[in-house]
Amino acid sequence: MNSMVGEHPLSPAAESLLTVIEQDSVPEEASSLWKRYARQMTVERRGDRLFLHGAGFTSHSKTGWLGRGLYGLERLSYLPYTRTLRAFPSAWAHAKALARDLGLSLTRHEWSSAVVVAILEEHFRAQGLAPKTFAMIGDGDGFLGTLILRRFGLESTRIFAIDLPKTLMFQLCTYQKAFSREPISMRVLPSEGATGSPAAVTFVLGREIERIEEKIDCAINLVSMQEMTPANIQAYFSFLRKRSGPSSRFYCSNRLYKKLPGGEVASFHDYPWSTRDQIFLEGPCPYFVHYLEAQTLAPGPRWLGMRIPWVNHFDGPTWHRLVHLAGEA
């Protein structure tokens, strides 16, 4: 069971987002895959409470001893890489504390979020950067964005969580639960407008991104552009180029190629990159190579011609890139 599945309090921000969902629960601009997931999700009012049941993103289930053991072995198998990240031990400690507060098991999702934070922290430190505004594009249940907000500090960090309406509700509940002892300011665009002091977290529908007026210091997309239409991807790149400052960064980690149920194709190297972009990091994603599961699937490593049990490859190679996007010409 996902930790966000079940009942939650209806905060003012949740009320605003629920109004949007009740008017348009399956946006026309969504990809065929996410239209399917949106129809499978449940986001509804039950009295003065909110009931959620998700689909389409990582399930944070409380795993048994076998699952915990496999996840632990998987993390050990990536030690040659995570040992190269000096910021990883501290980021991982923060991720474990957040998972504990949210009632989550330590799965690949929590671990990979810590890896992303460590990659970015090391780059920021090396470049002398202090980003304040983060755009989390397609952040699933919101764990990574919540980790960033905790890690970089409420005093100086603002998050723009950008996604489809139902998925945003899961993210809202994650932020709400993570900061239950120290409630944070949250707002929804466009429902609540953009007046007043900036909120710690602003939830924005993908089609409403142009309402964000601030420069974006760091945008992150982790394995979700691979599930968008080319038009969606073009819109995000256009938005980020308009909001790009001299030290802005975009971290993108996605499958090289993925075909969706409706025939749409997302190809990493066909994203609207520019020869004017400045690339700081690029290559096969070193933390999305294999995973461990209590079943042996067809794609996976072999030794002496025999399939190594429980160690599986992902459906296709994942590429990552850390870049400064040039402004629109």
Stated as kind and residue range, the H or E segment containing 150 is helix 143-152
Residue 159 has which token pair? 């998050």
In the chain, % of residues over pLDDT 70: 94
pLDDT score of 310 more than 50: yes
CA atoms of 125 and 118, how far apart (whole Å): 11
pLDDT band for position 64 (50/70/90)?
confident
pLDDT at res. 66: 84
Averaged confidence pLDDT in the chain: 91
pLDDT at res. 193: 47
Residue 94 burial (CB < 10 Å; 0-12/13-18/19+)?
middle
Q: What is the mean predicted confidence (pLDDT) over 23-47?
A: 90
- Integer distance in angstroms from the first to the last C-alpha of the chain? 47
Q: Residue 285: helix, strand or coil by DSSP?
A: coil
Q: How many CB atoms lie within 10 A of CB 190?
A: 13
Q: How many CB atoms lie within 10 A of CB 329?
A: 6
Q: What is the mean predicted confidence (pLDDT) over 166-189?
A: 93
What's at 98, amino acid-wise?
L
126 or 2: which carries more pLDDT confidence?
Answer: 126
pLDDT score of 57 more than 80: no
CA atoms of 26 and 34, how far apart (whole Å): 8
Domain coordinates in residue numbering, the chain: 6-285+316-324
197 or 178: which carries more pLDDT confidence?
Answer: 178
pLDDT score of 58 more than 70: no
pLDDT in tens, 287-302: 999 999 888 887 888 8
Q: What is the mean predicted confidence (pLDDT) over 71-94?
A: 97
pLDDT at res. 251: 98
Stated as kind and residue range, the H or E segment containing 253 is strand 244-255
**6-285+316-324 classified as CATH 3.30.750.24:** no
pLDDT band for position 1 (50/70/90)?
very low
pLDDT in tens, 95-144: 999 999 999 999 999 999 999 999 999 999 999 999 999 999 999 999 99
pLDDT score of 173 more than 80: yes
